[in-house]
Amino acid sequence: MNMDKIRAIIDKDRDSLIGTIRELVAVPSVGGEAPQPGAPFGPGPKAALDKFVEIGARHGFRTWAFEDQVGIAELGDESLPEMIAVLAHVDVVPAGDGWSCDPWRGMIKDGLLYGRGVADDKGPAISAMFAMKALREAGVRLKRRVRLIVGTNEELGSRAIDRYVTSGQELPVAGFTPDAEYPLINGEKGSITPKCRAPFAPDGGDVQVLSIDAGVASNAVPSKAVAVLKVAPAAEARLSRVVEEFAAPRDAKLTCEKSASGEYTLTMDGLAFHGSRPQYGSNAAANLVKVLRLLGVGGEQGAFLEKIDALVGTQTRGENLGVMLYDDVSGFTSLCWGLLRSEGDKIMFTLNYRFPVTFGRDPVCAKFVEVLRGHGFEVEAGSGSHPLYMPEDSDLVKKLMKVYRDETGDCESKPMSIGGGTYAKEMPNMLAFGNQFPGENTHIHEVDERWSIEHIMKNTKIMAAAIAALAGVEE
């Protein structure tokens, strides 16, 4: 196989590749909206699915959609009995506030492509498609078919790919998902994200919370939290003092405004970060709770604020909850308090809990739910996800690491474990491979998500080599 020829084709397609990523990014595909006929995860993800299928057909692939949930673009002789797969997703987390550009326009500035989904995971999906296109145009004869399979619910539970798998669709013999980091992810923590509720009725005291709202996704550190307060005249001086004296932590800012009707709005700005690494963010919900406690909110509201601050607060490993775990392969647990929202006389919050790869899902998740219920919270929780771990001497790890080293010259970086969960858990013999390079920060799940165009091109070439390595080539 002539990799120089394949690389040259990818270089020739540069403008088309970047333009196609921008085309897909321009479809706002945030999940979480109510299902509609023909759109089980809402109209946004379905529109992105339709656009993906259209793009794949336009570039000469066999394309189809499975139950309006999964898109497929296939390469190779249909008579070949085996198939490898590249798994990606076209749903995205909400854009949130604070962008320096339109998150749906795909702005290019200083060699970077900006937009929600450019790196997670629309850009990598299109990068994989152009890698397949280059192999076809180079005349590479593959021993196995190649499927690019995209889901529409990865950010909110992976139900689309789960449906694909459990309905008996053809599964690959091997594959990868470009939804993490290079050189290779051979371990992914398990996780569970319960939705919890507690009583939150006001008690008629001199400071009452009329509403509170923080966060846009359960798997991201909230960058903004807003509370609307009813403050008695006798407590206004206390409010002014607390706001003035509050020592805002790193990357946090507190503001207070009084409306014409006399209500006060407290706004806490923080720093969003992916839920697998909450220690690098500044949690606006946790910081706002600390302010509300200083104001002396009473009754059920005060009891909840005191409890959640003591049990969770700004901690990111679950120490005070008693659920912190550790192993030598993947490190400590992570705990991300993602959402906080008042619902009448109750309050709802989510905790995204990720645990090390050598621990079993069922006992860990059961214990976590038991702990939360033991503290008096109502808990809605699914089964959670299993951890994934593949040893370094396994065939798939060795093949993908060889591709990475051959294409980059980096022989120092080693396979690693991450807190994030990917589609690699959804199918057998699958690992996360790319797309972020060592030392790079694409700011996924944050404002101003971006991806270096140079790295997009480099990633596409690596994926072409990886697809060929897993599919096998007729010489």
If asked whether residues 374 and 417 sit together in one domain, one would say: no
If asked whether residues 47 and 176 sit together in one domain, one would say: yes
Which has the closest alpha carbon to 352: 116, 181, 197, 190? 190
Instruction: Give the pLDDT of residue 175.
Output: 99
If asked whether residues 174 and 316 sit together in one domain, one would say: no
Domain of 26, CATH number, reads: 3.40.630.10
Domain holding 426, by residue range, is 3-189+387-471
Instruction: Give the pLDDT of residue 32.
Output: 85
Q: Choose one of 320, 347, 380: the last residue of a domain.
A: 380
Q: Choose one of 322, 351, 380: the last residue of a domain.
A: 380
- The DSSP-derived string for 48-75 is HHHHHHHHHHHTT-EEEEETTTEEEEEE
Phi-psi group of 291: left, alpha or beta (phi > 0 → left; psi -120 to 50 → alpha; rest → beta): alpha
CA distance 303 to 299: 6
If asked whether residues 216 and 182 sit together in one domain, one would say: no
- Domain count for the chain, please give it: 2
Q: Choose one of 350, 380, 410: the last residue of a domain.
A: 380
Instruction: Give the pLDDT of residue 157.
Output: 83
If asked whether residues 204 and 326 sit together in one domain, one would say: yes
For the record, the structure tokens of 13 come out as: 């397609």
Ranges in the chain, pLDDT < 50:
none
If asked whether residues 37 and 23 sit together in one domain, one would say: yes
Q: In Å, what is the CA distance from 292 to each residue of 138, 243, 259, 286, 287?
A: 63, 10, 18, 10, 9
Instruction: Give the pLDDT of residue 249.
Output: 84
Instruction: Give the pLDDT of residue 475.
Output: 82
Torsion, Cα 16 18 23 26, to 10 degrees, reads -170
Determine how many CB atoms are found less than 10 A away from the CB of residue 328. Answer: 7
If asked whether residues 158 and 207 sit together in one domain, one would say: no
If asked whether residues 181 and 210 sit together in one domain, one would say: no
If asked whether residues 127 and 80 sit together in one domain, one would say: yes
pLDDT in tens, 225-283: 999 999 999 999 999 999 998 888 888 999 999 999 999 999 999 999 989 999 999 99
If asked whether residues 11 and 98 sit together in one domain, one would say: yes
Instruction: Give the pLDDT of residue 84.
Output: 99
If asked whether residues 283 and 401 sit together in one domain, one would say: no
- The DSSP-derived string for 324-370 is --EETTTEE-EEEEEEEEEETTEEEEEEEEEE-TTS-HHHHHHHHHH
For the record, the structure tokens of 410 come out as: 């980096």
If asked whether residues 373 and 461 sit together in one domain, one would say: no
Torsion, Cα 161 430 166 90, to 10 degrees, reads 10
Instruction: Give the pLDDT of residue 250.
Output: 80
For the record, the structure tokens of 258 come out as: 């009084």
Number of H-type helices and E-type strands within the chain: 11, 25
| Four-residue CA torsion sign, 176, 177, 183, 187 | negative
Which has the closest alpha carbon to 420: 220, 233, 271, 263? 220
CB within 8 A of 437, min separation 6: which ones?
Answer: 181, 182, 455, 458, 459
Torsion, Cα 229 230 233 237, to 10 degrees, reads -10
Element (H or E) spanning 300, and its range?
Answer: helix 299-311
CA distance 325 to 97: 34
Domain of 324, CATH number, reads: 3.30.70.360
